[in-house]
Amino acid sequence: MFSVLADIILLKENATAFEYLEEFPMQMLAQLETITGRKAQHGLFVINMEYGRNFSGPDKDVFFYDRSVGHTEDAWQSNFLHPVIYYYRHLPTEQEVRFRPADWALPRPTAIHHIVEDFLTDWTAPVGHILPLRRFLENCLDTDLRSFYAESCFLFALTHQKLPPFCQQGYLRMQGLMGTESLRRHGIESGLLRDYATVGRPREDGGQRPVGSSPAPGLPVQPLDGNKEEL
């Protein structure tokens, strides 16, 4: 039942693992630890399916003109059924649940994210659904959830104290895609990798290629702390 039962994601230490609880009564959120025997010491997410506040009511047409929302920045105005994700650093108390804001299904969270509505209830669009959700999770967990090439993970390991989860769970465990020439060339041509294999080799004009130079002038090389446009 929407806004009656919700899924709970309990975060473990350092947000490197989690436990997923399905269909938990929302109004009993404050008693979660007592009912389930699980601890919520490191924060939790609550996933609830919600309609827009103005979706239906007396003398309201649910198919009124211009009722749909298509842009991610307007996702909070979605009228049709869509997932709403609540993030709490600490488990809400009984008083917070009882005196929550009017017309709210849950107490005021630390952060909230609406996934923009989709008429097919298929929230898998890479840019419209996945990317905004990933950035929301990154802000809540204070981490980087992007995927990286092995070269970037190697540089992270040498220059940073904290590695992204993708590098921790893949590269450092010797897991990931097997490197091939076509994959390496694709990374170089797209500007995601430097071509270190050509460093020191003679150029076509007879000169020496300097260290750190790119074989394809004009192609940007993504810095380790670059923006988060990479999916």
At 160, list the tokens. 């940073």
pLDDT of residue 218: 40
Helix extents (H) in the chain: 32-36, 94-98, 131-141, 150-159, 165-169, 181-189
Residue 25's identity, in one-letter code, is P
Strand partners, 49: 83
Q: Which residue has the higher pLDDT, 199 or 120?
A: 120
Distances (CA, A) of 220 to 45, 189, 194, 226: 37, 9, 10, 11
Residue 185 — very low, low, confident or very high, per pLDDT cuts 50/70/90? confident
Reported pTM: 0.73
For residues 193 and 25, what is the distance between their CA atoms, to the nearest angstrom?
Answer: 48
